[in-house]
Amino acid sequence: MGKDLYDQFPLIREMYAKADQILGLPLTKVSFEGSEEQLQQTQFTQPAVFVHSCALLSQIGENGLKPDYVAGHSLGEYSALVCAKVLSYEDALYAVGRRSQLMQKACDENPGTMAAVVGMNEEEIFALCTEASQFGIVQPANFNSKEQVAVSGEFKAVEKAVELAKQKGKKAVLLKVGGAFHSPLMLSAKAELGPELEKLNFQRAQIPVVANVTAKGVTDPEQIKELLVEQITMPVLWSRSLEFMSNQGVANFMEVGPGKVLQGLAKKTIPGANISGVDKLADLQQFLQTQLK
C-alpha cells in the first residue's frame, strides 16, 4: 500500500519516516511488506490508511486543488481534517495512532464483529438490530448507502442479525474486521480519546468538514473535536453526508486513498454526479495531467 508513491516522491518518504518516529511502530515496513494478518490489526490498519491518504493529498494540494467540502468515512475523517487545515499532519498522525491503540485495547477487552446488510432501509435496520439485541449488543454502525448498512456489536448478536436478515430474503455477510467499531463496545476508547485530543492544536477549518456523526458541515474546532470523540461509538452517516454535499451544489466527488469502495457508494447514493478516485501513482499522475491542462 503506497510503495509506488513512496518511491516517487521525497516528501512522501519523509511522511512515512515521521510516521515511524511519531507512532513508534515499523509502519513503513508493515505498509509495504506486512502480512494480511498484520495489516488487519487496528494499530497498523488505521495509521497505514491515514498516511497513504495524506501522501496523496500532499501532492494534490501542492497542485492547487481546493475542494468546497471534505468528508472522510470513519478513520478518513482525520485525513479530511488535515486537508481542511484543522490539524497538522503530525498532530493528526498522533491522534490516529492513539485512536488505533485505544480501539485495539477496546477490541481485546470487548470482542465483537461487524456485518454488512444489503436491501434494508433505515427503519428495517433498526428493527433488525432490536430483534437481534436479545442475543447481545448490536446496532447500526455505518449507513453506507440507501441500501447498504453495516451493523456492529457482540458476536452472537451480529451473527443473529445476519441470520434474521437472510430469513427476510436480504443479503448479509460478516465482515473481516478487528472489532465492533462504532458501537458501545468502544466506550472505553471513547472515554480515553477525549483527553488525547485536548493535547492537540485544533484550528478553524479552512474548508467545511462534513462530520460523520451529524452529516452536516462544521468549521468550529471545538465542535470538530467533540464530534471526533462521539464518532467512536456512533454510526457513520455516510449516505446522508453525500446527500448533504450534493444538496449544497457539489457535483464532483473524489475519493483520495486506498481502494474504490467510497466511489461505489457515491454512485449508488448520488447518481449523475461525477465520481473519481486517486489511489495509486498512476491515478495521481493522470489527475495532475488533467489539472495542468
User: Can you tell me the distance from the alpha carbon of 287 to that of 265, in angstroms, rounded to the nearest whole number?
Assistant: 21
Measured CA distances, 238 to 162, 209, 214, 229 (Å):
21, 13, 10, 17
b/e burial code for range 13-22 (CB count within 10 A of at least 16 → b): eebbeebbeb
Judge whether 35 counts as a catalytic residue. Answer: no
- CA angle, 233 then 199 then 26, to 5°: 80
Judge whether 182 counts as a catalytic residue. Answer: yes
List 53, 145, 152, 182, catalytic entry: 182
Cross-strand bridge partners of residue 148? 118
Percentages of the chain per state (helix, strand, coil), in multiples of 5:
55, 15, 30
Which residue do the cell numbers 473535536 mark?
225
User: In the structure grid, which three cell numbers stand for residue 139, read together?
Assistant: 446496532
Give the max Cα distance, the chain.
59
User: Can you tell me the distance from the alpha carbon of 78 to that of 87, in angstroms, rounded to the nearest whole number?
Assistant: 8
List 74, 133, 188, 246, catalytic entry: 74
User: In the structure grid, which three cell numbers stand for residue 53, read together?
Assistant: 491518504
Backbone phi and psi for residue 119, each to the nearest 5 degrees, phi listed first: 100, 10
Cross-strand bridge partners of residue 209? 70, 218
**Beta carbons within 8 Å of 92's beta carbon, 6+ residues apart:** 50, 54, 78, 79, 81, 82
| Helical pair 10-23 and 42-62, crossing angle rounded to 10 deg | 150
Residues catalogued as catalytic: 74, 182
